[in-house]
Structures are given as C-alpha cells and as structure tokens.
Structure 1
Amino acid sequence: MSNKLDQLTGWLKDHKITEVECVISDLTGIARGKISPTSKFLGEKGMRLPESVLLQTVTGDYIADDIYYELLDPADIDMICRPDPDAIYSVPWAIEPTALVIHDSYDKQGNPIELSPRNVLKKVLALYANRGWQPIVAPEMEFYLTKRCEDPDLPLQAPIGRSGRQETGRQSFSIDAANEFDPLFEDMYDWCETQGLDLDTLIHEEGTAQMEINFRHGEALHLADQILVFKRTMREAALKHNVAATFMAKPMTGEPGSAMHLHQSVIDVASGRNIFSDESGGMSQLFLDHVGGLQKYIPELLPMFAPNVNSFRRFLPDTSAPVNVEWGEENRTVGLRVPDSSPDNRRVENRLAGADANPYLAIAASLLCGYIGMTEGIPPSAPVKGRGYERRNLRLPFTLEAALERMESCQDLHRYLSPKFIQGYVAVKRTEQENYNRVISSWEREFLLLSV
C-alpha cells in the first residue's frame, strides 16, 4: 500500500495539483467530503468525516432519532477515510489544477464502515474472489439534456440545439439529433479522456434529447467509481453549455425513463475462462443459476436498483421499461436480456436499474443476486420468446414502500449484506418517502382544488 501511496503522491506532483477533492459516496450516490490543499492532503493521507453523512437523505435530512442512535454512536463520531490510490481523477473544469480522490471509510479499529456503498460492493466482490471468480461488468448510462429551469414546479423542456430549435418527436439512434449538441459532447469526451474514463459509444436514445453513454467492460469497483465521476462530469459539461443533464429515472411526463443497464459476466481467475459458457460453447449451469438468482432476489433488493419515489415511474404501464424479471435471448422486453454473443463473451444484461441508482449499490446488488443463484443452485424460469412486457408471473413491487418492506423482511439477505446496512438503507429511503408525501403536487391542485 505504501508503494501505491507513493505513486499517488507522484501523480499529484507530476500534474502540479494544488487542490484535492477527497470524496466518498453516500447512499444516494452524492459525492461528499472535503476540499484540501495538496500539501495538507499529502500530510494527512486521508480525512475524517462524521459517520452521519452516510445516513443523510437526498433532501439533507436524517432518519428518525431512535434508529439513528441504534446505528451510530450518539456522540456523532468521525469515521476515518483513506484514499484509494487506484481511484484518482483529474477535475478538468476546475480553475486551479484539481484532483478528485475517492476514499474508503473505516472505523477507529480499522474495520470497513458497513453503511458505506463502496464497502458494500467490495464485500460482494470478496464473495466472488473467495470462489476464484471475478465479475466483469459493462454499464450503460441513460440521461436527458434539458433546458435549465430554476422553478421545480415547472415541467422540464427539451433544450435548444445548434440549429436554434428544440428537438421534437422520437429520435432513436439519430446521428443528426445527437450532433445538435456536438460542442457539449466534445467537451465531455475531452474531459472523460483526461480523467481516464472507459467510455465507448454515444447513442441518442428514444426520448426527446435523451442520450446514452456506454462504458467498456471491466472490473466492477473501477467502473462504479467511473460512473460516480462521469455523472458529475456530464452535469458540468452541460452547465458549461447552458443546459442541464439529469439522471432522474423519469424526469419528463410522456417520455421514456432513464436506466443504468448492467451487462455482467464472470471469469474464472485461474484459467481466464468465462464460466457462463460450458465446454461445448453453450450456456453453462452456472450461467443458468446466475440468471435464477437474479430472478429470485432482484425483487427483494429492488430499492437498490430503484431507490427513489421517482424511480417507480419508470415501471408504469405502457413505458419502455420491463416490469418483470423474466429472461430471454436478444429480448429487450424482459428485465434480464441475454445478448447474442460468442461463448467467450456470454453475459446477461440487467435492464432494471435506474440511472438514478447509486452505482456501487446497483452493481453490488446485481452481482449478489447472481452469486446467490450460482452458490445455491437456483434454476431460472423458462426463457421468454416474443413480447414480455405483459408477463405477470415475475413482476416487481410497484411502489417504493412495497419494495422497502420486501427488502427489510428478506432474511436471506442478512447473511450477505449486514443487518446494519439494510436497516440504515431502508430507514433513509423511508424518510425520503415521508418527505415526498408532505409535498402537494400540481396534479392535486389541478384536479382536486375546485372539484372535490
């Protein structure tokens, strides 16, 4: 580790970095931490943060006191955050030479903090490592570009592109529609290249000014870090060009939602072989069991894929998102798609995670479901051929409340994810739900104000 820290020090000095953003991810996926002069960062080799930031809601509130003090020290003590030398990124839009360094969180005894999303993913990856396996993932991130709007009561609108006009209608895979925002994406690609992000293709998705960025396949923790950095980079590039980028799951009425599709496979570390294919090149039993685990446990872990009230708007009827955990080959109408590929590249695509999900938790949950399937031998259902949107046998909870109840009551998960994490995560999401319930919507004012 000391050698890697020396490499980190050398990188900062070689790039003449004057400020370091020391960050961790909270449960929502918000980067929280401190901005430190490089000299102070190098002297301290980390930072301290209150444990309570990991129980902060997206609105900045905290969970109820009785659960809060059950999970955390009443004195609101600090956790120790240490930099990961493999998770350092430049901040190209900063005025001063700045780096972002992702940290891991520990208690004073050196134990990983159970509420840390990055630690949750590392815990799941350790399960695979103990079997001699390594998961490989390839995320696809959908998002919308919109006009900047200061009033949250107003519906979002499509931005104006180079032509001086707003986009209208559905423009799936349109090159011209994507080129409307060429200057923005040129900056985004330049910044991501500087940061070393493994971006692949840019696609115009189905929605109005909805885009998708695909990442090249790679190691799960590294890609989760990259998604955290990319979302911030994309927002900064949009702001530079006077538009907004949003990763809300369903930001616009009448438009498709935004997903974080997760392609995943598993290799045997010793041989380098994809264990999803057997000797003859067909689907292995481990692959089928992996799919079976996804089918059984995604409904129990749905809040880690759909973490917000808004997330469930993606799953409404007549939307393009599958509302099931059916599986099928080359079938985008099911939640678990098996792309057509060679035996070496056999994988399953989990299409259920929203773009608003915390990347560490969504990847951890998806890999955990498959791991349980492989180790417990859970067979999948029969694959779906043809349209799967209306399939009702393997549907999902329809509300955040229902999903949280299932996650809380699934005792199997307590063996793999700590009870403390499950209790804390559910408490944070319930608090956010309660805050949402206090807000009177425009729909209520429009249809109830003078009618009831």
Structure 2
Amino acid sequence: MAQENDDFILLGYVDLDGLLRGKYVSREKFQSWQKSTGTFCSAVLGWDMRDELYDNAHSGWFNGFPDDPLRIAEGDGTRLANGRRFYLMEYADGKGAALCPRRLAARVLARGEAMGFQLKAGFEYEFYVFRETPESAKAKGFRNLTPFSPSGSCYSILRTATHENFFSGMLLLAEQLGTPLEALHPEAFPGAMEFALTPAAGLQAADRAVIYKTFAKAWGQQQGLSLCFMAKPISGMSGCGGHTHISLWQGEHCAFFDKSAQDGLTQTARHYIGGLLRYMPELMALYAPTINSFTRLAPGFWAPTGANWGIDNRTCALRVLGDSGKSKRVEVRPPAADANPYLVLAAAHAAGLAGIEEQIEPPEPLAGNGYADTLQAERLFPRSLEEAAARLRGSEMARRWLGDAFVEHFAKSREAEVAAHRAAVSDWELERYFEII
C-alpha cells in the first residue's frame, strides 16, 4: 500500500449498467461537495455502457445534457493501493434520484425498515480469467482466448497452490479495499473462478460488490490478465452467476428462522419466498440485463429457467439454506454476474416485501431436478431481453415499488440494447450464411 495521499480524491457513480464512472477531484472540491452537493453530467443516465445515446426523458439533445446534483455517499471511503481515497457518489434530490440505482435500493430498504425488517445480503460472483489484455483479446476477436488454467478443476487445491500469486493478490486486494471475502476458489471450467463477499447490512452489501468487482478487474489488467464477468463468455460452458444471499432481521433476531417450523422457515420467510417467486419473471430485466444474460439461463448449466424453489437445491431459482438463525437465508440464483448489484438488491427485496404485504404463499419446495419441473406459463422466465423489458414495463408491482420513472427509463435502456444487437452482424450469421446461401 502506497503512502497516504489525499491531494486528489477519486469519486465514482454507479450507472444503470453497474459501471463505475467518475473522476479525480481536488481535496478542496471534495470538501466542498461534502458540505453540500456537487454536479455530474446527466448524460450518464442517457447513454449505454459504450456511451451510445438512447431515447429517454431525462437527458439528451432536447435539454442540452445539463448537470445533475450528486452527493458523496456516507462513510469514510476506501483507501486505494496508490494511497488515495475512493468515495461512492449518488444522485441528490432531483429527477435523477428516481433513476439512480443506489437511491432506488435505498428507498426499497427504507420501505422494508418501515415494515420492521432490516436486510443482510452477500453477493457471490463467478467469472472467467484469461491470460489476455483487453487489447490482445480484441485483436483475437474475443475468440480462442488463452484461459488462466488449461482445464477445469473446481475447488482444486493444485490450482490454488500453483497460482498462489493470483489468489493471494485477490485476497490482499479485498483486505485493502475493505470488501472482505468469505471464499475464493477455482470453478469447474478452464479459467473459471468464484468469490463470495462477506454478508453486510443493506446498501453496504451492494457497495462492496461494485467496488471489489471493479477494482479486481483493474488489478487483473495490471497483471496482464482479463477478469470477465459476462453472463456467458464461452459457448458450451457454464455462465457466470451473481448469486445473492438474503436474510431479514428484526434487531438481533433472524426473521426467517423458526426451529420448530417446517424447513425451519417462519411465515415471514415463506411469504418473502412467495413474493420472490411470483414477481421474478416480471423483474428479470434487472437480474439479466444484457443480451448475453439470456444465453446463461439454460438447462444443465447451473442457472435456473423458471421461478421455483427448493431446500439446498442448486437447480432451482431460489435455494433456501441454513440451519440456524445465523445462517438461514435465501439464495437468489437468477442474477448474472453482469447485473447491477443495487438493482438486484432492489428487485429481490421489493418482491420479497411485496410477498409479505400480500401474504403470498409459495408452492411446496422442489426436492428433485428443477429443470424437469413443470411450471405454469407465468412462472417461466422471459426468453430474451426484449421480452424481459416488456414484462418489466407492464409490471404493476415494479411500478408500485420501483416507481414509474425508473421502470420506463430502464425499460427504454434495455430496448436500446436490443436495437443495437439487432443491427449487428454476428459471427454465427457469417459462419452459417456467408458461403452457402
């Protein structure tokens, strides 16, 4: 860790796609922002992850891309390896606050607290590591990339010991950033990895997720490696989940656990599960926000295809686990590693709380293969981002809990992603049609 240096502070805002965007500001400007608010170009809510503008009601040529008021998120920030501090920003009160992912998650958490519940959550991410720089990967057309390991070997101690520098570097980075890990290990395919962040209360869980994921990618590039969090970067291999573990608390008491009840679940937990299941298909655009996300949601690849649940059953959309008040939780498995953690948190918690409000009873938990489960049509997931955006726009529940402005804006942002994909010529099309047709 370099010597502390606070002449400039790095500020970052998490956009709709979960990307950190920001800039260095002088210590004097940072202190001024701390006392009141600062400003940031509204274009960050009007373009996609590649800075392509899309039609929306918030920011564009029609209003000249004005600045929006932003504020520094509470807390002491994160000390970076260069000795400077990094602070998260969020939209201050104003039109942008309705669209800001962090403010949205905070509003859902506040509604839960008004109902008497606090949330704890832990994010775990699967990802692939390649012995490629972004430049070398692009030069290869992102094909035939060299994986970090020559073969898959899930939980392999051989891999962990052989690549000691990589694993120790990832662990040290988490310690330096104040984003503690519970686990880090190789996964089942060449170059596949997974890390699990230690659970935290409320917004802190999503803060840790976006900070560690971003700076881990940067650390990897400094080592000549690419850490890829695409939902499915390689055909024929499993994709990358962004599984989210959630529990509700009332003070020091876990609101999900009752030792004497069936499966150790309280009625509150059952209603929360009921809400998660009922509204999951309507909220899938928040769990699977890219075109690529939907290639992951296929039978036999460790990702669910419909809204079902089971006790410690990894073939289901919801996996309930834990045998005590400390460990009882629901693992929400549909989110991909490419999803925005604030939006995942907002969507899942809103659905669960709606289940409590509406006293939604879940079906019986599934004991067998979730892919063989015959689900009613309304329980099946959308098959594409286009369908998911339409389902979100038509969701009365999403509008009640997330707001009309956010639902309309986010749906438009996904439709813009669909339009960009539709205009592109894929490798599959070229290989299939170029010579023969």
The question of a shared fold, defined as TM-score above 0.5 by the shorter chain, is answered with: yes
Unaligned runs of 5+ residues in structure 1 are 1-13, 161-165
Q: Secondary structure at the match of 1:260?
A: coil
The correspondence of residues 171-182 of structure 1 with structure 2, limited to 5 A, is 171-182=153-164
Task: Check if 1:403 corresponds to 2:388.
Answer: yes
Task: Check if 1:167 corresponds to 2:150.
Answer: yes
Deviation of 1:237 after TM superposition, in Å, equals: 2.0
What does residue 101 of structure 2 align with?
A: 117
The answer to whether the 8 Å contact 2:311/2:320 transfers is: yes
The answer to whether the 8 Å contact 1:27/1:55 transfers is: no
Q: Secondary structure at the match of 1:194?
A: helix
In structure 2, give the amino acid aligned to 1:229: I
Name the CA shift for 1:384/1:227 in 2 (closer, same or farther; >3 Å). same
Deviation of 1:69 after TM superposition, in Å, equals: 5.6
The correspondence of residues 38-437 of structure 1 with structure 2, limited to 5 A, is 38-45=27-34, 46-64=37-55, 67-68=56-57, 74-86=63-75, 88-92=77-81, 94=82, 97-107=83-93, 113-148=97-132, 149-151=137-139, 153-160=141-148, 166-168=149-151, 170-269=152-251, 272-278=252-258, 280=260, 282-393=264-375, 394-437=379-422
Deviates more, 1:317-326 or 1:416-425: 317-326
CA displacement, residues 258-316 of structure 1 (integer Å, 9 cap, x when unaligned): 011111110113xx211112373531111111111010111100010000000001013
Deviates more, 1:68-77 or 1:383-392: 68-77
With structure 1 as the length reference, what TM-score do the two structures score? 0.89
Q: Hey, what's the Cα distance between the residues in 1 that align with 2:32 and 2:271? A: 49
Q: Secondary structure at the match of 1:267?
A: strand
What does residue 440 of structure 1 align with?
A: 425
Deviation of 1:144 after TM superposition, in Å, equals: 0.8
Deviation of 1:443 after TM superposition, in Å, equals: 1.1
Aligned length: 424
In structure 2, give the amino acid aligned to 1:98: R
Deviation of 1:73 after TM superposition, in Å, equals: 7.7
Q: Hey, what's the Cα distance between the residues in 1 that align with 2:352 and 2:144? A: 37
Deviates more, 1:40-49 or 1:323-332: 40-49
- % identical aligned pairs: 27
Name the CA shift for 1:171/1:294 in 2 (closer, same or farther; >3 Å). same
Name the CA shift for 1:181/1:113 in 2 (closer, same or farther; >3 Å). same
Deviates more, 1:389-398 or 1:216-225: 389-398
Q: Secondary structure at the match of 2:371?
A: coil
CA displacement, residues 93-140 of structure 1 (integer Å, 9 cap, x when unaligned): x4xx321100121246xx771110001100110111101210111111
Deviates more, 1:67-76 or 1:334-343: 67-76
Q: Hey, what's the Cα distance between the residues in 1 that align with 2:73 and 2:390? A: 35
Q: Hey, what's the Cα distance between the residues in 1 that align with 2:129 and 2:144? A: 10
Q: Hey, what's the Cα distance between the residues in 2 that align with 1:279 and 1:338? A: 14
Q: Secondary structure at the match of 1:301?
A: helix
Name the CA shift for 1:420/1:73 in 2 (closer, same or farther; >3 Å). farther
Q: Hey, what's the Cα distance between the residues in 1 that align with 2:85 and 2:336? A: 28
Root-mean-square deviation (CA, aligned residues, Å) is: 2.0
Name the CA shift for 1:114/1:311 in 2 (closer, same or farther; >3 Å). same
What does residue 7 of structure 2 align with?
A: 18
The answer to whether the 8 Å contact 1:124/1:368 transfers is: yes
Name the CA shift for 1:370/1:19 in 2 (closer, same or farther; >3 Å). same
Unaligned runs of 5+ residues in structure 2 are none
CA displacement, residues 310-329 of structure 1 (integer Å, 9 cap, x when unaligned): 00010134322121221111
Q: Hey, what's the Cα distance between the residues in 1 that align with 2:62 and 2:102? A: 21
Q: Hey, what's the Cα distance between the residues in 1 that align with 2:86 and 2:286? A: 25
Q: Hey, what's the Cα distance between the residues in 2 that align with 1:115 and 1:72? A: 19
